Structure 1
Amino acid sequence: MTTFNPALLATDPPPVMEARRWIEHAQFPADRPLLNLSQAAPADPPPQPLRQAMADIVLTDTAAHLYGPVLGLPELRARVATDWSHAYVGTVRPDQVAITSGCNQAFTATISVLAGAGDNVILPIPFYFNHKMWLDMAGIDARLLETDAALLPDPEAAAALIDDRTRAIVLVSPNNPGGVEYPAEILAAFRDLARARGLALIVDETYRDFDARDGAPHDLFTDPDWDDVLIQLYSFSKAYRLTGHRVGAICASPAHLAQVEKWLDSVTICPNGLGQRAALWGMENLGDWLAGERREILARRAAMDAGFAAQSDWKVLGCGAYFAYVQHPFDAPSDVVAKALVDRASLLLLPGTMFGPTVAQGGSGRAEATLRIAYANADAAGIATLFDRLAAVTETGL
């Protein structure tokens, strides 16, 4: 009989795939089609000029079809270093940048360099589920850090979780699933804690292009020795709608990236050649377009804030970037609520039980009380429809 890795067996199934199974055989009324706000990904393809550039690359750039450098296209690494140095008013060198096959791979490669079975990593809750899944698969203990009413983590509370097997602290800002933008002073305090305790501070900034704040969201890169503690992760997928092409980045010390190179060479050998060139073309040519995308996401955020302000039975815990994280009004756990909303309102949302421990698992009860809404996938009409349906089901009950 075939046996399976027990760590993998003990890992929860992928939440987005699990939610898709809820609708696999569902029949939705013609006047109430499914509104899918479950996944944090652009629903549209890249803009037409980028698609045209990609077509030209496919036809004319032979190197795009061949193996490339394990740590990524030199031109893209250099462009990231230049743009990051400008955006964060700091200094990032090309040899401090690696390109990966998506930001999830940036995380898995980074954790593989830092920790092994029996070690532990601190994750604030609610957590990004793929971060937790990878730690579980690798036999690395996720030390869960409860956040406050505004979904912000406390460095002092994190310090109490650290022991001699702790290897890193992971922060996501703007947050997935909470939408919260971590204040610069909190990030700096976590940097100081990590440095004092000899840990890595991993900051996942997948959604940095949609931060509502103007200017640099933090000053971590202004520290001349930033790479002795900071590892920043990034995704080009959200900025340029390149989700299917899998392009992410790591900013870290050359010593860290030397170890990342070993791991990547054994997994993908090199990042996707077309995707890398598309990301570079986007950085070079789509600044104004991306600024417009940011304005649209911020407009949708404002619509979400306004919509929930009119629904007193619902409580917004966090709203920003692609997400709203809300407390539902029903006397049922969030996984039951989420499945009921498919049937009762043709809405697909993800339950808080996918982002944190239940009471039975030692949680505070927040997981059962909350839902994540990926509102970036809905236009103004879609957001209006969301609130009409929530109002109707709130009035009638599940």
Structure 2
Amino acid sequence: MELARKVMQIQPSATLKISATAKQMMADGVDVINLGIGEPDYQTPDNIKQAAIDSIQNGQASFYTPATGLPELKQAISQRIMADHQHHYDLDQIVVTDGAKMALFTLFQVILNPNDEVLLPVPYWVSYSEQIKLAGGTPVEVGTDRQLRFTVADLEAQRTPKTKALVLNSPQNPSGLVYSRAELTAIVGWAESHAILVIADEIYEKLMYNGNQFTSVLELEGIDLDHVVLINGVSKAYSMTGWRIGYAAGPKAVMAKMGVVLGHAASNPAAVSQYAAIEAFGGDQTSVETMRQGFEARLNELYPLIASLPGFKLPAGKPAGAFYLFPDITEALRLTGYQDATAFVTAVLLEAHVGLVPGEAFGLPGHLRLSYATDMTSLREAHRRLQQFMTQKIAEQAN
């Protein structure tokens, strides 16, 4: 049977592929340290777990909810946004989805016509480009400088009459880069002037380190938010990856059509997860700060270790947010004789038993991503293995 052409052009998620391979090796008894997936190692906070348990015991979790989410959850999201960014969304401006990934997927389905173009500054999260293709659109890469930043001039160089949207991810996956208020004002202002929708993925907003400050697009002065859709969720800040709750917030007309699509696609997000998310957004936020401090401590210890590896360079400096490092390994490839980052990462997994993700998956060859969302003992051991791997491969090349 001939399969749909749009499906045949889609590549598997590199992060999930690496993680699946690592997990299979672990199941086979191999001692693998998997730094390839963006998943906090912390348990979901107890107050959130208890809210889920309560919803089961009192019978609330047994039934369908509205396709776009419980009104109580939308209210909790609206109040959290107001508390954090001083912007109000009405409930019909918010759509709850099965994870932030589903919010993005549904949004692309709603806004894109065949061959519409979406600007993706490099590097970008692996699923953006594939979701755009599935919606019939065309991802257009936007070049960045050595520090992985882009400007309005870079955007303008790629703009065409077909440009429909720009994905703006800050803090960024995979680099941890965070855009300043001035940078965001210029970027969003440029998009507004050309009637280009800004898709602001702020899923890592709570994970900022070493005194760096996060600015949401919602806080910018003089910006028309009719040209902005906010994407966020509970996965990262609240350590709830498995609960699968995300949301989109934006213009009512866009949210209404997203609701129509979601009604046919999934009926509704899991009720029990929605009740847990109400507590996440509306309950005690102490655990968010506790986990943030933990990630910060890991970053501060791991960063110099990775920067000291032969051929590893971090030209953008220490990341300001998220929980990833994205080193340039061009020199490491030369030293070890590997053709590209994919071959390098594969060898590291099979020989050193450390799971990483090649930069090719993020639109930037010659790099790799590693996550420090795991315990420090494992991170130190991963560094030791990488150091040993590099020493061995460099020696082999010398011979």
TM-score by length of 1: 0.90
2:384 is equivalent to residue 382 of structure 1: no
Q: Name the SS for the 2:286 alignment partner.
A: helix
Separation in structure 2 between the aligned mates of residue 276 and residue 226 of structure 1, nearest angstrom: 30
Q: Which structure 2 residues correspond to residues 239-254 of structure 1 after superposition, within 5 A?
A: 239-254=237-252
Quick one: which of 195, 202, 207 aligns to 1:205?
Answer: 202
What residue number does 1:129 align with?
126
Q: Which structure 2 residues correspond to residues 150-229 of structure 1 after superposition, within 5 A?
A: 150-212=147-209, 216-218=214-216, 220-223=218-221, 226-229=224-227
What residue number does 1:85 align with?
82
Flag the 1:343–1:28 CA change in 2: closer, same or farther, 3 A: farther
What residue number does 1:361 align with?
none
What residue number does 2:323 align with?
322
Separation in structure 1 between the aligned mates of residue 222 and residue 83 of structure 2, nearest angstrom: 15
Letter in 1 for 2:358: P
Separation in structure 1 between the aligned mates of residue 224 and residue 238 of structure 2, nearest angstrom: 28
Flag the 1:21–1:70 CA change in 2: closer, same or farther, 3 A: closer
Q: Name the SS for the 2:141 alignment partner.
A: strand
2:395 is equivalent to residue 396 of structure 1: no
Letter in 2 for 1:346: H
The CA deviation string for residues 325-363 of structure 1, in whole angstroms up to 9 with x for no partner, is: 01221222000000110122110100011111xxxxxxx
* Count of residues in correspondence between the two structures: 384
Alpha carbons 1:178, 1:317 under 8 Å: kept: no
What residue number does 2:348 align with?
341
Separation in structure 1 between the aligned mates of residue 26 and residue 81 of structure 2, nearest angstrom: 47
What residue number does 1:139 align with?
136
Alpha carbons 1:88, 1:216 under 8 Å: kept: no
Structure 1, unmatched stretches of 5+, are 357-365
Q: Which structure 2 residues correspond to residues 1-398 of structure 1 after superposition, within 5 A?
A: 2-20=1-19, 22-23=21-22, 26=25, 33-60=31-58, 62-212=59-209, 216-218=214-216, 220-223=218-221, 226-311=224-309, 313-317=311-315, 319=319, 320-328=321-329, 329-331=332-334, 332=338, 333-356=340-363, 366-367=364-365, 369-376=366-373, 378-397=374-393
Flag the 1:308–1:76 CA change in 2: closer, same or farther, 3 A: same
The CA deviation string for residues 371-392 of structure 1, in whole angstroms up to 9 with x for no partner, is: 100111x212122112211211
How far the C-alpha of 1:307 sits from its partner, in A, is: 1.6
Letter in 2 for 1:322: F
Flag the 1:78–1:225 CA change in 2: closer, same or farther, 3 A: farther
Letter in 2 for 1:164: P
Separation in structure 2 between the aligned mates of residue 33 and residue 325 of structure 1, nearest angstrom: 24
Flag the 1:395–1:293 CA change in 2: closer, same or farther, 3 A: same
The percentage of counterpart residues that share the same residue type is 23
Which of 120-129 and 66-75 deviates more?
66-75
Separation in structure 2 between the aligned mates of residue 4 and residue 217 of structure 1, nearest angstrom: 44
Separation in structure 2 between the aligned mates of residue 236 and residue 117 of structure 1, nearest angstrom: 32
Separation in structure 2 between the aligned mates of residue 279 and residue 224 of structure 1, nearest angstrom: 32
How far the C-alpha of 1:55 sits from its partner, in A, is: 1.5
Q: Name the SS for the 2:314 alignment partner.
A: strand
The CA deviation string for residues 26-85 of structure 1, in whole angstroms up to 9 with x for no partner, is: 48998x82100011012344233332331221111x332211122211122112212212
Flag the 1:88–1:48 CA change in 2: closer, same or farther, 3 A: closer
The CA deviation string for residues 284-336 of structure 1, in whole angstroms up to 9 with x for no partner, is: 33301111011111111112222234335311245331111012212220000
Which of 48-57 and 152-161 deviates more?
48-57
Flag the 1:29–1:346 CA change in 2: closer, same or farther, 3 A: farther
Q: Name the SS for the 1:240 alignment partner.
A: coil
Alpha carbons 1:242, 1:275 under 8 Å: kept: no
What residue number does 2:397 align with?
none
Q: Name the SS for the 1:198 alignment partner.
A: coil
Flag the 1:95–1:177 CA change in 2: closer, same or farther, 3 A: same
Flag the 1:167–1:27 CA change in 2: closer, same or farther, 3 A: closer
Flag the 1:264–1:35 CA change in 2: closer, same or farther, 3 A: same
Alpha carbons 1:118, 1:141 under 8 Å: kept: yes
**What RMSD, in angstroms, separates the aligned Cα atoms of the two structures?**
2.2
Alpha carbons 1:98, 1:249 under 8 Å: kept: yes
How far the C-alpha of 1:231 sits from its partner, in A, is: 0.8
Alpha carbons 2:121, 2:142 under 8 Å: kept: yes
Separation in structure 2 between the aligned mates of residue 119 and residue 29 of structure 1, nearest angstrom: 45
Flag the 1:215–1:87 CA change in 2: closer, same or farther, 3 A: farther
Alpha carbons 2:51, 2:275 under 8 Å: kept: no
Separation in structure 2 between the aligned mates of residue 19 and residue 98 of structure 1, nearest angstrom: 31
Alpha carbons 1:28, 1:34 under 8 Å: kept: no
How far the C-alpha of 1:106 sits from its partner, in A, is: 0.8
Letter in 2 for 1:173: S
Structure 2, unmatched stretches of 5+, are 395-399
Q: Name the SS for the 2:164 alignment partner.
A: strand
Separation in structure 2 between the aligned mates of residue 330 and residue 393 of structure 1, nearest angstrom: 12
Letter in 2 for 1:244: G
